[in-house]
Amino acid sequence: MPYDHSKQYRCPIVRGKALTDLDDLLPTYAHIIQEICPTNKTNFKESFNGKLAQFLAGAEKKTLDNHRTEIAGKLFGMYYEDSKETIQISERTLKLIEDSDQPSFFKDLCAKYQFPSCMNKMNTVMAQINSGINIRQLSFVMKVIFELSNKRKIINKKEVGYYILNSLDVLSGNATPTDVISQISEDRINGMEREVSEPGREHSYNHQHINEQLNLLALANCIIFDNQNIIINYKEMDYIKKLSDKYNAPNSFDFSQYDLTNRDHRRKVQIDYDKHFAKFSDLDKSVLNTPINSLINLTIPDAPQNSRIDTNALGDEGEEYIYQLERSRVEKEFPRLVNKINKLGKIKGLGYDIQSVLGIKPKPEFAKYIEVKSTKRVSAPTDTFRDTINLTRNEWTAAEQHKENFFIYRVYFCQNETKVFVIQNPFGLNNDGKIYAIPLSYRIDFDQKSGNFCASE
């Protein structure tokens, strides 16, 4: 049967936040969940809401509940309920805490998305099943984008929405990427511009479920938006090819083994799906890592440029970046002191990565101790942001010992820029209530009032 693009079918997902907000909130969710899990459902609800309220001042209970259940839970799969009704942290969340690679988190997440899914209400799931909906939608989207890129063509958001994410034939597996591309090409030749539009509905209703799914691919670092146009990130081709190849693979969660008209089965399918969604995808883990040069073009001598499984790679890249930044800063005013800047991150027990000099009068040669904490994310942190890092006992001891001469440099490797946030004397700031050091391994929560971004070179 030929592809009939006119048969439209709306498959919504959980409504998230703006792209930058999701990047900002992800590490916050992760560290809250790490701190309180495993725990029972009642304590999880109260503890998550209470800790998130410290970050989102003035947020109402309904808003906090939405962050916990809809975004951290259904949209991101950051925790799940086990057979003993205990809330456990997900594999994907544990990996994020370990490697601070936010695009990698979203890469794995995109590979788990499917329709139908239990992020929708069960009546919606049943309606989708009855309509034959059965697709890994983000894999299909990437396959079309990939094939069009091979033809040196670009697709836009409205076309993705109309021809793919709102198309019944695509969502039910009755159309191929080739069918979609052929139809788009024909319509373009004929000057036809199509978009999702349901009469009587506002623009957000028609496009929100499309834009927010595309945002997930953007957060995975595989597409870039140029207004309405979607540009493929050629530096992530290993991942893009693997994700695209899954477009016609069976859904990873099979609803056919459940009787959704049975109340007990409906409860069981929700628990089973949540546990499934919290696990890693079936993609090869080697393609999930995000090389620094896939985010931005950096000139860092000896910095690793290819995908690496080594979890120390990000720390090495951040340390090298700050080392070069410090050398450049000191050399401008006190070139004779440049040789006093040393990378010491490989020496265990020191509590800092770089020993530099203050480089300011009247005593520029005074020592400066820098601990570098790096992360990868697509969007840069905004002027109003929250973040969380972990310090070891040795690092916190060094902060206490060196006080005004101890600095944390938080490096954000982002898609369009690298930003460095500097926190001087975290020990003193903690005593003054300007940061919040929680003695787990000394987790530090901070915001824009705690320090300053480095000036761009």
Summarize pLDDT for 230-275 with one digit per residue, the tens: 999 999 999 999 999 999 999 999 999 999 999 888 999 999 999 9
Q: What angle do CA 387, 388, 391 make, to 5 degrees?
A: 145
Structural domain contains residue 345:
yes
Q: Is residue 4 one of the residues assigned to a domain?
A: no
The DSSP code for 283 is S
Task: Tell me if 7 is assigned to some domain.
Answer: no
36 and 159 belong to one structural domain: yes
User: Residue 129: in which H helix or E strand, if any?
Assistant: helix 122-130
Q: Considering the domain boundaries, does residue 136 fall inside one?
A: yes
* 88 against 349, higher pLDDT: 88
**Is residue 50 located within the same domain as residue 186?**
yes
Does residue 262 lie within any of the structural domains?
yes
pLDDT above 80: residue 135: yes
| % of the chain beyond a pLDDT of 90 | 76
Q: What is the mean pLDDT of residues 101-130?
A: 96
What is the average pLDDT value for the chain, to the nearest integer? 91
| Residue whose token pair is 């005004």 | 404
49 and 187 in a common domain: yes
pLDDT of 405 over the 70 cut: yes
Decide which of 233, 256, 287 is a domain's last residue.
287
| pLDDT per position as a tens digit, 314-346 | 788 899 999 999 999 999 999 999 999 999 988
pLDDT at position 307, please?
Answer: 35
Domain identity same for 283 and 299: no
Give the pLDDT mean for 205-211: 92
The residue segments making up the domain with residue 306 are 295-453
Q: Which of 260, 287, 314 is the last residue of a domain?
A: 287
pLDDT in tens, 159-168: 999 999 999 9
pLDDT of residue 236: 95
Q: 301: how many CB neighbours lie within 10 A of its CB?
A: 7
Q: Domain containing 326 — which CATH number?
A: 3.40.1350
Reported confidence tier of residue 220, pLDDT bands at 50, 70, 90? very high
Would residue 6 count as lying in a domain? no
Residues 263 and 328 in one domain: no
Asked if 144 and 257 sit in the same domain, the reply is yes
Q: Is residue 94 domain-shared with residue 214, that is, in the same domain?
A: yes
Q: Which residues pair with 453 in a beta bridge?
A: 421
Together in a domain, 348 and 412: yes
Whether residues 85 and 233 share a domain: the answer is yes
Judge whether 91 lies within some domain: yes
| CATH code for the domain of 135 | 1.10.10.2090
* Tens digits of residue pLDDT in 139-154: 999 999 999 999 999 9
Residue 59 placed within a domain: yes
Q: What does the block give as tokens for 211? A: 């834009």
Same domain, 30 and 160: yes
Taking only the tens place, the pLDDT of each residue in 358-390 is: 998 888 999 999 999 999 999 999 888 888 888
Both 268 and 389 in a single domain? no
Instruction: Report residue 16's pLDDT band, with 50, 70 and 90 as the boundaries.
Output: confident
Whole-number percent of the chain with pLDDT over 70: 95
- Among residues 255, 287, 319, the one where a domain terminates is 287
Identify whether 27 is preceded by a cis peptide bond (ω within 30 of 0).
no
- Are residues 282 and 216 both part of a single domain? yes
Report how many domains make up the chain.
2
